[in-house]
Amino acid sequence: MSENPNKLNLDQLLDLKRAEKPADDFWDGFQREFRQRQLQTLIEKESGWKQTVRMLFARSSLLVPFSGVVVALFVLALNFKQEDPLQKGYYEVVDLVQSNSQPSSVETSQEISQITPDVEEVRTNPVDLFPAAASFVMDSIHNEEPEPLNYTREFPTSTIPAEKRAVGALVSYTIARDNPSFGFSARPQTIGF
Amino acid sequence: MSFVKSITQPFTGSDQALSERDADWLVVQRVQAGDVAAFDELVIKYRERIYSVIYNLTSNKEDSFDLSQDAFIKAFQSIARFKGKSSFFTWLYRISVNTTLSFLKKNRHRRFLSYENISEETGTSDIIEVLAAKTGTEKPTLLKELQHKLNEALQTLSVKHRTVLVLFEIDNLSHQEIAEIMNCSVGTVRSRLHYAKKQLQSELQDLLD
C-alpha cells in the first residue's frame, strides 16, 4: 500500500498493466486466425519445386521423358566439351561420302569445279551434306507399362556448329544403341545421313 | 560442473517446471511426427502469455494480435528444428520477443498506442477508488488516464530495458529465464532492470510517492 493515500507506488501502477487483458471471446478469433494461417503455411510448404519433384516422381509417365531429355542434354554437352570418341567414325563417313561423290578421274579442284560444281561444294564443306539427326525410341525399363512409350527424340541441329553435326548424330545414335541405362532403354531408329 | 549445469537449466529447478517441460516436449514430438493439430494445444496453453508480453512491449493491441500470430506461425514452421535443449516455453518466448523487437526496430518512427481494457479484478481497485473520490474524477476516467501515462512512460524506455522490465515485473519471469530469452548474462539483466525501474519511476514521478 502506498504511504501517501493520494499517490501510487510503481508496483501498484504495474498492477494496472497486468490487468490489461483482452476479453474472453478474443481468443476464439485468435485461434481461428491461427488455424487459417497454419493451413496457409502448410499449403505453401507443398508448393514450389518440391511439388514439381513430387509430381515427377509420382508419375512414371512424366519421369521417363524428363529423364530422357536430361540424359540427351547431358550427352550433347559431353560431346561438345570432350574429345569426340567417334572422331574416327566421323572421318570414315566423310571419306565415304566424298569417295562416292567424287569422280576418280578428276585431278584438281579446278577441274572438279568445271565438271561438277556440286562435288566442289562437298569437298570444301563436306559436313553440310549431313542433316545430322539421330532419332531413337526410348522404352522405360521399370515403368511397368505394357506398351513401349515410343518416345522419339530428334536432336535439333541448328544450334550445333556445322563441323560437329555429323559427330553429334553418330554419338546420339551410338549412345542410344549401347546404353540401356538411366531407367530407360533406347532403340535406335534412324540416323540422319 | 553440476552446479554450472544447474544454473544453465533454469526450468529443471522444480518438479512442476520439469513436468511442464516434459509435457510440452511430448506435444512437440507429436507435432514433429506430423500431428499438426497437436500444435493447437501449445497455442492454447501459451497464447495469453505470449500476447501479454507482446502487448506490454508494443502497447498496441492490433500489432500485438498480428505479432502473436507471427510468433506462433514461426514456431510452427521451425518446430522440426527444435531439439528440446531449452524448454519449449523459453524457445517460444525467444521467438516472440525477437519478432517484436524486429517489428519495433522497423517501425520506430511510426508508432501509435492502442490499449486493452483493464479487467475488473485488478489489485489496485481499492486505491483507485480512493484516488477517484479524492480527485473528484470518475473511476473509469482515472483508470484511462493512469493507463495512458503508464504506457507512454514504458514507451520512453529503450527496447532492451522495456523488455527486461516487462518480462520481470509483469510476466514474472526469473532473471535466469530472461537472460536465456534475451541471450545475455544474468548480470546484464539485473543491471538493465535496475536502470529501467529507475527511469520509469522518474517518468511517472507525478503519480508516485
Q: Which domain holds residue B62?
A: 11-116
Contact map slice: A 108-147 vs B, CB within 8 A: none
Between residues B90 and B6, which one has the greater pLDDT?
A: B90
Q: Per-residue pLDDT for A91 more than 80?
A: no
- Beta-carbon contacts of A136 under 8 Å, excluding residues fewer than 6 positions away, are A152, A153, A172, A173, A176, A177, A186, A187, A188, A189, A190
pLDDT at B62: 95
Per-residue model confidence as pLDDT tens digits over A144-176? 444 445 555 555 555 566 666 666 666 665 665
Domain contains B189: no
Per-residue model confidence as pLDDT tens digits over A41-85? 888 776 666 666 666 666 666 777 777 888 888 888 776 655 444
Residue B41 touches chain A, beta carbons under 8 Å: no
If you measure CA to CA, which chain B residue comes closest to A13? B150
Per-residue model confidence as pLDDT tens digits over B34-68? 999 999 999 999 999 999 999 999 999 999 999 99
Cα–Cα dist B77/A38, whole Å = 9
Closest Cβ opposite residue A19 in set B43, B122, B209: B122
Residues A5 and B196: beta-carbon distance below 8 Å: no
A25 vs chain B: nearest CA distance in angstroms? 12
In order of A107, B94, B98, B106, B152, the CA distances from B102 in angstroms are: 86, 12, 6, 6, 20
Contact map slice: B 17-36 vs A, CB within 8 A: 36
Residue A177: burial class (beta carbons within 10 Å; 0-12, 13-18, 19+): middle
Residues of B in contact with A25 (CB under 8 A): none
Residue B206 touches chain A, beta carbons under 8 Å: no
What ipTM was predicted for this assembly? 0.84
Contact check, Cβ <8 Å, B207/A13: yes
Contact check, Cβ <8 Å, B123/A12: yes
Cα–Cα dist B194/B198, whole Å = 6
Residues of A in contact with B154 (CB under 8 A): 17
Per-residue model confidence as pLDDT tens digits over B132-187? 777 778 888 888 888 999 999 999 999 999 999 999 999 999 999 999 999 999 99
Quickly state the pLDDT bin for A193 (edges 50, 70, 90): very low
| Whole-structure pTM value | 0.60
Contact check, Cβ <8 Å, B43/A20: no
Domain contains B112: yes
Contact map slice: B 124-143 vs A, CB within 8 A: 124, 127, 130-131, 134, 143
B78: CATH: 1.10.1740.10
pLDDT at B131: 74
Domain contains B81: yes
Cα–Cα dist A35/B40, whole Å = 8
Task: Determine the average pLDDT of the residues in B70-74.
Answer: 97
A60 vs chain B: nearest CA distance in angstroms? 27
Between residues A127 and A24, which one has the greater pLDDT?
A: A24
Per-residue model confidence as pLDDT tens digits over B125-138? 677 777 777 777 88
If you measure CA to CA, which chain A residue comes closest to B120? A19
Residue B69 touches chain A, beta carbons under 8 Å: yes
Q: How many domains does chain B have?
A: 1
Cα–Cα dist B84/B23, whole Å = 12
